[in-house]
Amino acid sequence: MTRIVPMEVARKPTGEPTDAPLIAGVTSHVPAQGDAQTVKRVEIFASIEAAERQWRSLETQFFTSVHLSYDWCRNWLEATGTEPVVVLLHFTGGGRIMLPLEIIRQGGAKVGRYIGTSYSNLNFGLFSPDNMQFSPPLLSAALSEAGLKLDLLALYRTPERWRGVANPLMPLDRVLSNNQAFQMTLDGGFDKALSRINGKKRRKKHRLGERTLEELGGYEIVHGDDPETALRLLEAFFVQKAARFDKQGKLDVFAKPGVQDFFRRLVVTKTEENVPLLRLSAVQLTDGRYGAISGVTRKNGHLICQFGSIDEEMAGELSIGEFLFYRLIEDACANGQMMFDFGIGDEAYKRSWCDQITTQYDCYLPLTMKGRAVGATLRAIASTKQAIKANPRLDKIARAIQRRIS
């Protein structure tokens, strides 16, 4: 079922102050109010199939992240059985913003968040590159009037700007996300990219790793470009990751219901370029062992390492994970890719590779009084986590407590 409700937004004459923030869609300047678009109407889709045509049209933008693509979200919903709702905002000048949401319960409230949020690294760009603005209170009222049966929108892990494009959702209440994203820019080719991160030392380390692997009997880099290989690599990843979590005393996040099925679907789904939506690669030794495995997505020159694992028995012999990263990044440069993204989470190895850190935000829009209360609680929790992470002593204590609880 689809409902369409018009939304008339009062506008003051150009030059007068306004309570509605002005948002630049593509350019970095704040436009005059008379140049901006305002929300005209709202569409709500109870199924993703009903929104597919417009969704696929929007996701072709070069700045739209893979996590908001139709096939990524479709696979998540099919694997987990999560209830979806898709919101499409239409603006006066033809601009559109689409919000593909899954409905969950938090604190007794119905919360809409981006589909598959728990396993996404960056959510951005399911909108047309137009100059748009809106008032959060008026948008909240319009969504409720359109029949959106939610208490709160919680849009996690979205940057203020991405690939030179401004995020039109920034007028919403927001706090810093707990984890930022780490990227390595690839412009200029592999040699230039390495030169920005101590290339001489990294090349030497790679040669030593290659020598060690040859002493172990040799190796090859294998890719899951066919379903059989992809699924075999994925099952090996699950085993390696489970062993790693067990060693660290952590819960296995890949063992949650539906998650493994989700990734099995991704690795056999092909993109328009006829490559896997999630491509697995591994360092395979001649004895059949996989020294390291990674899963990487590619969209419009942006590669994201969605996950990775190593053979714990080989961890002390060489930096096998970094060895695989080196080869994947080298290959990405040879194929004209623009960025290799290590995803969220602050780790020493990511900082050693990356020359760019992207700050991300969690945005909230309450639709009811209950949603306002739950949203305030979620923002407070996020701010507390940020304060703990900023204090090395508190962060160390928190990690120790988390390990003990796990």
Domain borders along the chain are 2-177+361-405, 183-357
Please state the separation of Cα 267 from the chain's center in Å. 17
Q: Beta partners for 303?
A: 298, 340
Q: Beta partners for 58?
A: none
Integer Cα distance of 346 and 352 in angstroms: 11
Domain 183-357: which CATH class?
A: alpha beta
Q: Order the strands of the 279-285 sheet from edge to edge.
A: 219-223, 279-285, 290-299, 302-310, 339-344, 181-185, 356-358
Residue 173's pLDDT is 95
Contact 172, 364 (CB under 8 A): yes
Residue 7's pLDDT is 40
Q: Give the CA angle between residues 80, 84, 88 to the nearest 5°.
A: 145
Residues of the chain with pLDDT under 50: 2, 4-35, 406
Q: Which amino acid is at 366?
A: P
What are the backbone angles phi and psi of residue 116, rounded to the nearest 5°? 70, 20
Integer Cα distance of 221 and 228 in angstroms: 16
Q: Which amino acid is at 89?
A: L
Please state the separation of Cα 300 from the chain's center in Å. 15
Positive or negative, the Cα torsion across 12, 14, 17, 20? positive
* 345-to-195, 306, 348 alpha-carbon distances in Å: 24, 11, 10
Copy the structure tokens of residue 190.
Answer: 């592999």
Residue 93's pLDDT is 83
Residue 237's pLDDT is 98
Residue 30's pLDDT is 25
